[in-house]
């Protein structure tokens, strides 16, 4: 299969979306990493993409931005094919890879001057303010920055042109807690002030909880629970089922995310949404446990 001979159904892709994908499949050799990922990120959303180490978050971002060619499926950026991104769309996109590097020999100020000529939307005052706020001296040589400083520089570089779409791969992994808070505040501020759409990947659930308006779990090659954070918190529950009730469970329930059999035949079930499982509450001994996002992550991906 190949993305050119087997395009996803274009008609159901919303051309207004900053980012959209249908049926993305990607493997490295025989290892399948993405197994049919569909995604829509509406304008102005801050989507937190969460998943365990090696779940495929960077690979998915690579496909979404046209940096990796999927074996099947299609990704669109601002309505156009990600694999053939023109300059106009590139100029509206800010991307921070997981390990930002390059231009190590340059001074920070030199790089920013160069980028200012390259990006039509570059805002020099905003760029200077970001460097000042994140305490990066423009006179520093980029190659001598610490990993955390390099990450802050990469973020300042991505934010300075005030992109319409900001994609951040583990943006806070090398940052200390103060810098992480700063960054998250910046993200929310930018999203709210200018309607910037943000996709960021993380395995730090508390970061995601702080800023994301939407959340998606990448697990075993598929996206689970791609919905508003409030909805996920309100409508995802754990149901501890006694053995007698567990024995009568169908093979899969609507909205079922995880099922764990406990010693003695009892089952711990995690379900999303309100339909398909309410009758289980009629069984004696069955109750619902609210799950925080961290517990949910552990239940689903653990």
Residues near ligand ATP (CB under 6 A): 28, 33, 51, 53-59, 98, 203
Closest CB to ligand ATP among residues 154, 246: 154
Q: How far is the CB of 295 from ligand ATP (least distance, A)?
A: 20
Buried b (16+ CB within 10 A) or exposed e, 221-230: bebbbbeebe
Q: Which is closer to ligand ATP, CB of 57 or CB of 238?
A: 57
Pick the closer one to ligand ATP by CB: 262 or 298: 298
Shortest CB 125 distance to ligand ATP, Å: 34
Residue 261 Cα distances to 209, 240, 244, 265, angstroms: 29, 10, 12, 6
Least distance between ligand ATP and beta carbon 114 (Å): 29
CB of 171 to ligand ATP, least distance (A): 12
φ and ψ at residue 144, rounded to 5 degrees:
-100, 5
Distance CA 225, CA 218 (A): 9
Strands (E) in the chain, as ranges, are 19-28, 31-41, 46-50, 72-77, 80-81, 93-96, 165-169, 197-202, 214-219, 222-228, 236-241, 256-261, 267-272, 289-290
Minimum distance, C-beta of residue 204 to ligand ATP, in the bound complex (Å): 11
Identify which of residues 28 and 114 has a Cβ nearer to ligand ATP in the complex.
28
When the beta carbons of 130 and 216 are compared against ligand ATP, the nearer one is 216
């Amino acid at each position: 299969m190949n993305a050119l001979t087997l395009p996803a159904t274009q008609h159901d892709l919303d051309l207004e979306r900053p980012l959209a994908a249908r049926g993305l499949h990607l493997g490295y050799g025989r290892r399948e990493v993405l197994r049919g990922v569909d995604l829509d990120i509406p304008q102005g959303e801050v989507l937190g993409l969460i998943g365990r180490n090696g779940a495929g978050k960077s690979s998915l971002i690579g496909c979404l931005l046209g940096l990796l060619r999927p074996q099947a499926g299609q990704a669109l950026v601002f309505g156009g094919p990600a694999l053939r991104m023109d300059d106009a769309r590139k100029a509206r996109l800010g991307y921070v890879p997981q390990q930002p590097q390059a231009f190590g020999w340059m001074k920070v100020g030199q790089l920013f001057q160069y980028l200012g000529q390259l990006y039509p939307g570059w805002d020099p005052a905003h760029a200077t303010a970001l460097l000042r706020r994140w305490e990066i001296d423009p006179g520093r040589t980029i190659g001598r920055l610490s990993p955390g400083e390099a990450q802050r520089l990469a973020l300042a570089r991505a934010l300075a042109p005030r992109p319409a779409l900001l994609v951040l791969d583990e943006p806070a992994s090398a940052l200390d807690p103060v810098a992480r808070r700063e960054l998250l505040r910046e993200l929310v501020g930018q999203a709210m002030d200018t309607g910037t759409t943000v996709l960021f990947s993380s395995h730090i659930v508390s970061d995601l909880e702080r800023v994301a308006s939407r959340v998606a779990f990448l697990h075993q090659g598929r996206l689970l629970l791609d919905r508003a954070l409030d909805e996920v918190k309100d409508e995802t529950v754990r149901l501890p089922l006694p053995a007698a009730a567990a024995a009568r469970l169908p093979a899969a329930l609507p909205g079922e995310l995880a099922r764990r059999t406990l010693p003695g035949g009892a089952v711990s079930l995690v379900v999303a949404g309100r339909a398909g499982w309410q009758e289980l509450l009629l069984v004696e001994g069955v109750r619902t446990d609210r799950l925080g996002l961290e517990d949910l992550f552990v239940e689903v991906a653990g």
